[in-house]
Structure 1
Amino acid sequence: MAAKPFVVPQFAPKDYSSFFLAGGLCCTITHAVMTPIDVVKTRIQIDPVYKKFSLLAGAKHVIATEGSAGLLTGFGPTAVGYLAQGGAKFAGYEYFKGRLTRIAGDQDTAVRYRTAIYLGASGVAEFFADILLTPLEATRIRLVSQRNYATGLVSGFTRLAREEGVRGLYSGFLPIVCKQIPYAVGQFTVNEFCHELALRQMDEETRRNLSGGGKFAIKLGSGIIAGFAAAILSQPADTLLSQINKGHGPTGSMPHRLKVLAQEAGIKGLFAGLGPRMVMTAGLVSGQFLMYGAIKDALGAPPGLEIHKDE
């Protein structure tokens, strides 16, 4: 019996612009809200004074030493960076998932190789998104890790570009790719499979008549689990990225610096701050998927391609 053809949606440029806007807004809003947690997490990773602190104790120490405004350090680069990165990541995932599905040729093949499709689409989309993110992430980490480095996004970005040029702005590109691609893989792939697992427990009639509350619960639960996976997969590279942008490690090529820093940190050091980051990432990822869907609906964008296995 011949495999049945798989009808892949043909998205128009307007659809991709909606995907980009929805992805950019959901990422910039969630990352901006999480700025205080990210400040404390980064301090725990790179500042010896903070290594003994929990998330709450670290936040109290920031307020005591820098005032409550210290918890919003790096807010500007975070908001702008993740607006660009989030838009490119979500729109790119929709695009590359469709392209890879067409390469599969038919529904049975696409379903059989759906894991490879999720991994490939999320990885490639994230790579291009990181080109936009890296300079702003470097600026954010400088603002968080070096007191009085600059007053905000524009002055921090300008100083970094002036003093270190393009090389300084992109010094963290390799570690950020090593961090963000596992993050995106965990985010999208685990979310897809959590949705699939939940829906496979229901018969066709239940799925068709699923209430708004039921859909919300599936999206929220899937997003939280995907957030945990994204945090664990990307934590070692996230720690190394913070170290690189603070100027730690030996001179030499980036792979050499990463290797030395990883050896010095050890397993325990590479996963320092994982607890706070898992809390942050679970909130980020679940919030992003919920907002992404809501903003797409508000913009009148079509639903994304689904290649879940029904049985």
Structure 2
Amino acid sequence: MADAAAILAGDEGIESVSHDGLKFWQFMVAGSIAGSVEHMAMFPIDTLKTRMQVLASGCGGSVGQALRSVVKVEGALGLYRGIGAMGLGAGPAHAVYFSVYERCKSLLGGNLPGHHPFAHAVAGVAATVASDAVFTPMDVVKQRLQLKSSPYRGVVDCISRIMREEGLKGFYASYKTTVVMNAPFTAVHFTTYEAAKRALMEVSPGGVSEERLLVHVTAGVAAGALAGVVTTPLDVVKTRLQCQGVCGCDRFTSSSIGSVIQMIIRREGYAGLMRGWRPRMLFHAPAAAICWSTYEAAKAFFQEINDNDTILS
């Protein structure tokens, strides 16, 4: 997060300006902006990931083949089908995500000088449980719209049909899997990000103030790539549950993670659990860099406003 432990350096000469003392609503606005920018920018890669994960045959053996397949049949706009649902869900979910993270991190002492991986991991898990409750319904709509030959005309049609045919539980069939996936994802992500950022600040020869953007981008790439690959099997399970019964996708009698994993292994082998890991890594590495740098910039903006208000008062 933002210069999570304001390090004033004596011997090392490292200085980092903390932005963790913002108001709660400022964390929410900064998170909302960061999440929206991240997901909108990376949406085409997310579409490819969904296509590759959802069927045993996928839509091509590689990311390049999947891309050519979508563009050839549906045109470039096919990569953006469902982006309206993402627009509705990403902002509110990330507002909850980052504000809960910041509050929990502060309560657990994660803003104090030094490295606090436990505080960062626990705060990250709490944040994902809260934000997933907000985002999962729109994620279901998004992924169903992303499917090839999706039967839904748009976001409103998809929402109304799911509610009519499956009820409210249709929007939350994958919630348990999503939380089980995102809890370790977020723990790995936040811990890696904070550790990488701190390490980069310590070796930065020119001072953190001049290289803050590079630090955030580099740490974000490392955190996103590692967390994305590690949690791919659970992401496959989540995608299958969210898209079950649509466009020829398998329907499951149980939303149990174990039963879905067993079915995938039985039909596709263990390789089926890693389907789409490349586009997932290609999504999360730059997405994390975009999200963190945007979030940090928004926090710095709010901090400047707060500082000016303090001076004027």
TM-score category, normalised to shorter length: 0.7 to 0.9
| Change in 2 beyond 3 A, CA 1:217/1:165 | same
Q: Which amino acid aligns with 2:69?
A: H
Q: 2:61 aligns with which of 38, 53, 59?
A: 53
Post-superposition offset of 1:302: 8.8
Matched, 1:171 2:173: yes
SS state at 2:252 partner: coil
Q: 1:125 aligns with which of 124, 127, 137?
A: 127
Contact 2:237 2:257 in 1 (8 A): no
| Change in 2 beyond 3 A, CA 1:249/1:111 | farther
| Change in 2 beyond 3 A, CA 1:132/1:163 | same
Q: Superposition RMSD on alpha carbons, in Å?
A: 2.6
Matched, 1:271 2:279: no
Contact 1:249 1:257 in 2 (8 A): no
Q: 1:289 aligns with which of 265, 283, 292?
A: 292
User: How many residue pairs get matched?
Assistant: 283
Post-superposition offset of 1:48: 4.3
Task: Work out the CA distance in 1 between the residues paired with 2:73 and 2:167.
Answer: 32
Post-superposition offset of 1:36: 1.1
Contact 1:191 1:226 in 2 (8 A): yes
The aligned residue for residue 156 of structure 1 is 158
Q: 1:99 aligns with which of 92, 103, 107?
A: 107
Q: 1:72 aligns with which of 80, 84, 88?
A: 80
Superposition map of 1:105-120 within 5 A = 111=114, 114-120=116-122
The aligned residue for residue 308 of structure 1 is none
Contact 2:174 2:255 in 1 (8 A): no
The aligned residue for residue 307 of structure 1 is none
Contact 2:34 2:290 in 1 (8 A): yes
Task: Work out the CA distance in 2 between the residues paired with 1:267 and 1:133.
Answer: 29
Q: 1:37 aligns with which of 26, 30, 45?
A: 45
SS state at 1:36 partner: helix
Q: Which amino acid aligns with 1:33?
A: A
Q: Which amino acid aligns with 2:287?
A: L
| Change in 2 beyond 3 A, CA 1:301/1:88 | farther
Matched, 1:62 2:70: yes
TM-score (normalised: structure 1): 0.82
Contact 1:39 1:144 in 2 (8 A): yes
Kindly provide the CA deviation profile for residues 110-159 of structure 1, in whole angstroms up to 9, marking residues without a partner as x: 847x1111110000111010000111111111112262422222221222
Q: Which amino acid aligns with 1:160?
A: I
Structure 2 gaps, min length 5: 1-17, 245-249, 307-313
Post-superposition offset of 1:25: 1.3
Q: Percent identity?
A: 24
Identify, as 1 or 2, the structure richer in helix: 1
The aligned residue for residue 196 of structure 1 is 198
Post-superposition offset of 1:42: 0.9
Task: Work out the CA distance in 2 between the residues paired with 1:160 and 1:18.
Answer: 34
Contact 1:18 1:299 in 2 (8 A): yes
TM-score (normalised: structure 2): 0.82
The aligned residue for residue 183 of structure 1 is 185
Task: Work out the CA distance in 1 between the residues paired with 2:174 and 2:118.
Answer: 27
| Change in 2 beyond 3 A, CA 1:130/1:302 | farther
Structure 1 gaps, min length 5: 1-7, 304-311
Kindly provide the CA deviation profile for residues 74-109 of structure 1, in whole angstroms up to 9, marking residues without a partner as x: 10111221112211111111000011128xxx96xx
Task: Work out the CA distance in 2 between the residues paired with 1:9 and 1:291.
Answer: 13
The aligned residue for residue 243 of structure 1 is 240
Task: Work out the CA distance in 2 between the residues paired with 1:11 and 1:215.
Answer: 18
Q: 1:220 aligns with which of 209, 217, 220?
A: 217
Task: Work out the CA distance in 1 between the residues paired with 2:254 and 2:189.
Answer: 33
Matched, 1:25 2:19: no
Task: Work out the CA distance in 1 between the residues paired with 2:61 and 2:262.
Answer: 25
SS state at 2:231 partner: helix
Task: Work out the CA distance in 2 between the residues paired with 1:165 and 1:92.
Answer: 29
Task: Work out the CA distance in 1 between the residues paired with 2:269 and 2:305.
Answer: 46
| Change in 2 beyond 3 A, CA 1:262/1:111 | farther
